[in-house]
Amino acid sequence: MAIEHSTHNEKDVVEAADITLLRRYQATFTQSREAILFFQHGRIFDCNPAALALFRIQDREQIAKLDIVTLSPRTQPSGQRSDIEGNVHIKQALNVGQVLFDWQMRDLDGRDFPAEVMLYRLDLPEGTVLQATVRDTSEHQAQRQALLQREQDLLEAQRIARLGNWISDFERGEIRWCEQIYQMFGRPQGERITHAIFMQAVHPDDRKRVQTAFDAAMRGAPYDITHRVVHPDGSVRTLHQRGQIEFSPDGQARRMVGTIQDITEQKRLEAELEHNAITDHLTGAFNRKRFDEEIEKALARRRRHSVSTALILLDIDHFKPVNDTHGHDVGDQVLVELTQLIQTSLRVPDLLARWGGEEFVLLMPDTGLSEAHHLAERLRQQIASHRFSVVGTITASLGVTTLQSTDCSHSSMKRLDEALYRAKHSGRNQVIEAPPIASVCDQPH
């Protein structure tokens, strides 16, 4: 009887915790600025106000008539039918636990728009359901298209004025450049150019690689290399060279004929596109995609080399009243200021990412639990003592943990979220550690 009574009490505790967690989740669900929809067996049965607004749903009674097909065009940009491709993502979410993908949506007014969708599997007492968090990426896509168009314009301009040509005369020991190449190197027109002068202009970090490529070309290999050059004024350009050796009948290298293209702007645009793909557009912190990549690398280091990596999950306390009282523009400014404040305390290898809403996550390589707790406490104090624009002071709750060799990203983040949950429900404005216990990943693979 005593055993049965203990088991009954434990069940009550678990059920009470589930109810508390559900209430917390419902509040987040209602207040989220991102569209959230729940569906089961392919049908939507609930969504938050943000989803109603995004999909132009005028009457909540319409929800029961909607599914992923009615909120999508017939086909996706890939050419695949939406119902077929959608089922692939649904099955993946059910098997793996969550999946992130790009999707073409359609609201009830018939407007198509690109979106980023995160599908989560939720195992509830009533059965398994899927949560879809949908973010309209129209603005991001427009920016990306503008950048791609600028890159295409640049490539077209380079095709027209396209390349500078050069000839390296081995018998005379000199290199003849066309006018455009003198400009690329920042050298005066007509200056006598030798191989030594050319190598002196090459960026010091690239010289060995360029010389190796040149020596290989002298043995018959293709000469195709990208490298930097330093102008006399200190500015740096990135050039792409191609060349071919002309040999005499007896096999002696007579000269090398080639072209050079200035690809500095192209490289800058590529870096900008890459940066935008991994960066939160509001705060400038890394986004969830980049964090997911880095935590997988950290888990691999933990398993192979036992390298300790710490995680901190930070959530602003009472952030909803900030938005309700001052408006979302002020709330956004708070997030920007908070990001800048956190970044002042980070080391070079540390990574800060916006986890979602007012939550931020930090990944710190070569860091133990004690050191991470110390940093988290310092961040908590800095935030509490900082005067934010318009709103004044705010506080934050933080959860701390370290990666274990048995972890996967799902189990480590679940443990970290539980620590943050305890911090929020123990009075807020505090740091709670998740004990570094070995945990078996409960996410299906």
In this structure, what token pair is assigned to residue 57? 């749903």
Cα gap 313→359, rounded to integer Å: 7
In this structure, what token pair is assigned to residue 138? 């129209």
Cα gap 343→352, rounded to integer Å: 8
Whether 116 is a known active-site residue: answer: no
> 402 near 411, Cβ under 8 Å?
no
> 432 near 337, Cβ under 8 Å?
no
Compute CA distances 118 → 9, 77, 92, 99, whole Å.
36, 18, 11, 6
User: 126 — phi, psi (to 5°)?
Assistant: -80, -5
Burial of 345 (0-12, 13-18, 19+ CB in 10 A): middle
Cα gap 246→312, rounded to integer Å: 61
In this structure, what token pair is assigned to residue 130? 């899927």
> 138 near 114, Cβ under 8 Å?
yes
Amino acid 253 reads: A
Catalytic residue of the set 294, 337, 358, 433: 358
* Strand-pair category, 396-402 with 431-433: parallel
- Listing DSSP states for 355-421 in one string gives EETTEEEEEEET--HHHHHHHHHHHHHHHHH--BTTTB---EEEEEEE--TT--HHHHHHHHHHHHH
Which of 424, 339, 349, 416 has the alpha carbon at shortest distance from 383? Answer: 339
In this structure, what token pair is assigned to residue 255? 């000269």
The SS3 assignment for 290 reads helix
- Listing DSSP states for 244-284 in one string gives EEEE-TTS-EEEEEEEEEE-HHHHHHHHHHHHHHTB-TTT-
Q: Collect contacts of 148-151 with beta carbons under 8 A, ≥24 apart.
A: 148/273, 150/269, 151/266, 151/269, 151/270, 151/273
Cα gap 333→382, rounded to integer Å: 17
Report the catalytic residues.
Answer: 358
